[in-house]
Amino acid sequence: MNNNGHDQRIKSYPARDKRTFLYAFSLLLDILSMFGGYAAALLVRDPQWLQAGNQALIVVALPIFIMFEIARGAQSAETLANRLLAIQRSLGALVASILVVTGLTFLFGAGEVSRVGFVVTFAATAILIVISKFVVDLVFKKTMDGLAIATILLIDGLDAKPESGVDIFDAGQAGLWPDLDHPEMIDALSRVIGSYDRVIIACRYEHRAAWSTFLKGHDVGGEILLDRDLLHGAVAIGSYADNDTIIISHGPLNLFNRLQKRGLDLIVASVALIFLSPLLLLVAFAIKMDSSGPVLFRQVRVGQGNRQFRIFKFRSMRVESNDAKGDRSTGREDDRVTRVGRLIRRTSIDELPQLFNVLRGEMSMVGPRPHALGSLAGDALFWRVSNHYWLRHALKPGITGLAQIRGFRGATDKKEDLEKRLRCDLEYLSNWSIGLDVMILVKTLPVVIHKNAF
């Protein structure tokens, strides 16, 4: 599609997911290379001469090699983009592994290892690693067009010279800019940039503050083309074509941290669903018996990167009284709540179906709570209370979070009620660690039943 001279090509599959596949593929080929080297050694020496102690040489060397591969960053965006660097790092990990295995063999007197077999194992492994990097390079060029970092240039009233390999979207022509009073525009723009690693904004001067807030609430690296000294809390200076840029965000978590957090989510959510399945079935039956209507209540909420999704909850209100937009907070004696609904809200059981949102990748076990579009703090919509509200969505929303274990739950009758939760959410984003997630999960158990849960 050609739009005012700009070819609008939007990726449909996230570059980071493609890189994760290529990292795994590259590591698998390196592991197979070591198996290939060991197999070559078996052609010249019997297995008993290729043992370190009571273990085959491959059993001792392989875990050490994998450890050094990870430590040296042999699988990274840099090595995908630079085949020579990939070879250097993987061979460096192999050499380090050789030194460690040799030292362990002599230190613990782990038997007589054939020198010929030892040399053949690692020499053949090195040759196969070099070959494997050419294979990875071919797959990389096929799947990612030779671009390790996916970049999109968003045009909003300020023209910019396009570079090769950069996708372009004319947001101004499409009638889009991050108007913080219109969540549907935020959602549309979030879906445009969701598949990219780096977002360059060429915007008019008066829109820079809004774009700055928008980018800080996303899980991508965001930059604004710079032609004046207006920084908006930039974290660094970058460049694009013949212009300088201010780097607004790098994204909150790196690949390793995202894998840790996703792994914890999958383990906890899966185990919880298995153990809680009898309770879930019992609650579903009770809801059907108590009032007419579906068991589950679905509502649009604001998720990671300010993209909207549908949250799952057990229905706790009568169908004719359900609050689809969420613009009325539930009160202590709310007449919309059913008998079963009052019990499951008091015990937070109504939140349990969100475990399915976690498995779907829309939510995390721990993170800022997702809010409905019509949520009010006093008489003001949440995002109008503070522009910092949009920053809380840089991570996936959670079933529980820092605000919840500190007791900030229930209705938001005043703006201060939201501001307290917002401070907790931003503190969580700034200090995230897998240990913090575990701590919050543990501390959630005592506050499942809370005086403000109604």
Residue 398 falls inside a structural domain:
yes
Q: Are residues 427 and 289 in the same domain?
A: yes
Mean pLDDT of 246-270: 85
Q: Are residues 167 and 275 in the same domain?
A: no
Q: Are residues 65 and 87 in the same domain?
A: yes
Q: Are residues 106 and 205 in the same domain?
A: no
Residue 1 falls inside a structural domain:
no
In this model, does residue 102 exceed pLDDT 60? yes
**Which tens digits make up the pLDDT trace of 272-307?**
999 999 999 999 999 999 888 899 999 999 999 889
Residue 421 falls inside a structural domain:
yes
Residue 3 falls inside a structural domain:
no
Q: Which of 193, 214, 249 is the last residue of a domain?
A: 249
Residue 454 falls inside a structural domain:
no
Q: Are residues 139 and 154 in the same domain?
A: no
Q: Which of 95, 123, 144 is the last residue of a domain?
A: 144
**Which tens digits make up the pLDDT trace of 136-149?**
999 999 988 888 88
Q: What is the mean pLDDT of the chain?
A: 85
Give the rounded percent of residues in the chain with a pLDDT score beyond 70: 87
Residue 119 falls inside a structural domain:
yes
Number of independent structural domains in the chain: 3
* Stated pTM of the model: 0.71
Q: Are residues 266 and 192 in the same domain?
A: no
Q: What is the pLDDT of residue 106?
A: 72
Q: Which of 128, 144, 160 is the last residue of a domain?
A: 144
pLDDT-derived band of residue 325, with 50, 70 and 90 as boundaries?
Answer: low
Q: Are residues 437 and 385 in the same domain?
A: yes
Q: What is the pLDDT of residue 1?
A: 37
**Which tens digits make up the pLDDT trace of 386-413?**
878 888 898 999 999 999 999 888 778 8
Q: Are residues 350 and 259 in the same domain?
A: yes
Residues spanned by the domain of 180: 150-249
Crossing angle of helices 15-42 and 255-290, in 10° steps, is 120
Q: Are residues 290 and 372 in the same domain?
A: yes
Residue 175 falls inside a structural domain:
yes
Q: Are residues 132 and 53 in the same domain?
A: yes
**Which tens digits make up the pLDDT trace of 32-71?**
999 999 999 889 888 877 776 677 888 888 999 999 999 8
Residue 94 falls inside a structural domain:
yes
Q: Are residues 88 and 109 in the same domain?
A: yes
Mean pLDDT of 216-224: 86
Q: Are residues 303 and 390 in the same domain?
A: yes
Minimum mean pLDDT range among 188-197, 323-332, 392-401: 323-332
